[in-house]
Amino acid sequence: MYLQYENRLNKATYNFVPIIIYLMVGLSSNTYVVAQGLEYVKANYTKHEFKIPMRDGIKLFTAVYMPKDVSKSYPILFSRTPYSCAPYGVDQYRSDLGPSPLFGTDGYIFVYQDVRGRWMSEGDFVHMRPIVADKKSSQDIDESSDTYDTIDWLINTLEGHNGKVGLYGISYPGFYTSNGVIDAHPALVAAMPQAPISDWFVGDDFHHNGALFLPHMFNFLSYHGRERPQPTNKSGTRYDYGTPDGYQFYLNLGPLNLVNKDLLDDEVPFWDDVMKHGTYDEYWKARNLRPHLKNIKPAVMTVGGWFDAENLFGALETYKNIEANSPDARNTLVMGPWRHGQWARETGESLGYSQFNAKTAEFYREKIEFPFFKYHLKGDGDGTTPEAWVFETGTNQWRKYDQWPPAEAKPASIYLKSGSGLSTSAPKDNDGFDEFISDPNKPVPFIDWINPAMPAEYLVADQRFASRRTDVIVYQTEILERDITLVGEVEVDFYVSTTGTDSDWIVKIIDVYPDDYPDPSPNPTQVRMGGFQQLIRGDVMRGKFRNSYENPEPFEPGKPTRVKFTLPDTYHAFRTGHRLMVQIQSSWFPLVDRNPQKFMDIYAAEAGDFQSATQRVYRTADMPSRLNVRILK
What pLDDT digit, counting tens, does each position of 565-619 carry? 999 999 999 999 999 999 999 999 999 999 999 999 999 999 999 999 999 999 9
Task: Count the Cβ atoms, other than its own, within 10 Å of residue 530.
Answer: 11
Mapped onto helix, strand or coil, the DSSP state of residue 249 is helix
Q: How confident is the model at residue 5 (pLDDT cuts 50, 70, 90)?
A: very low
Q: How far is CA 95 from the centre of its chain?
A: 27
Contacts of residue 611, Cβ cutoff 8 Å, sequence gap at least 6: 440, 500, 596, 597, 598
Average pLDDT over residues 85-96: 96
Angle at CA 175, nearest 5°, toward 106 and 405? 90
Average pLDDT over residues 327-338: 96
Instruction: Check whether 13 has a pLDDT greater than 50.
Output: no
Q: How confident is the model at residue 230 (pLDDT cuts 50, 70, 90)?
A: confident
State the Cα–Cα distance between residues 34 and 17, nearest whole angstrom. 12
State the Cα–Cα distance between residues 202 and 319, nearest whole angstrom. 16
Query: Per residue in 444-499, pLDDT tens?
Result: 999 999 999 999 999 999 999 999 999 999 999 999 999 999 999 999 999 999 99
Instruction: Check whether 633 has a pLDDT greater than 90.
Output: no
The domains of the chain, with CATH numbers, are: 6-198+289-401 (3.40.50.1820), 410-632 (2.60.120.260)
- pLDDT value of position 33: 59
Angle at CA 71, nearest 5°, toward 68 and 72? 100
Helix (H) or strand (E) holding 147: helix 143-157
Cβ(95)–Cβ(21) below 8 Å: no
Dihedral sign for Cα atoms in the order 273, 277, 278, 282 = negative
Q: How far is CA 597 from the centre of its chain?
A: 28
Contacts of residue 236, Cβ cutoff 8 Å, sequence gap at least 6: 223, 224, 226
State the Cα–Cα distance between residues 372 and 382, nearest whole angstrom. 10
Question: How, if at all, do strands 74-81 and 109-114 pair?
Answer: parallel
Dihedral sign for Cα atoms in the order 594, 600, 606, 607 = negative
Question: For 272, which DSSP code?
Answer: H
Task: Count the Cβ atoms, other than its own, within 10 Å of residue 485.
Answer: 20
- pLDDT value of position 21: 29
Instruction: Check whether 181 has a pLDDT greater than 80.
Output: yes
Q: What is the mean pLDDT of the chain?
A: 93
- pLDDT value of position 263: 96
Instruction: Check whether 83 has a pLDDT greater than 50.
Output: yes
Query: Per residue in 291-303, pLDDT tens?
Result: 999 999 999 999 9
Instruction: Check whether 10 has a pLDDT greater than 50.
Output: no
- pLDDT value of position 30: 56
Instruction: Check whether 261 has a pLDDT greater than 50.
Output: yes
Instruction: Check whether 360 has a pLDDT greater than 90.
Output: yes
Query: Per residue in 367-424, pLDDT tens?
Result: 999 999 999 999 999 988 999 999 999 999 999 999 999 999 999 999 999 999 999 9
Cβ(98)–Cβ(377) below 8 Å: no
Query: Per residue in 271-326, pLDDT tens?
Result: 999 999 999 999 999 999 999 999 999 999 999 999 999 999 999 999 999 999 99
- pLDDT value of position 34: 66
% residues pLDDT > 90 (the chain): 90
Mapped onto helix, strand or coil, the DSSP state of residue 498 is strand
- pLDDT value of position 236: 80
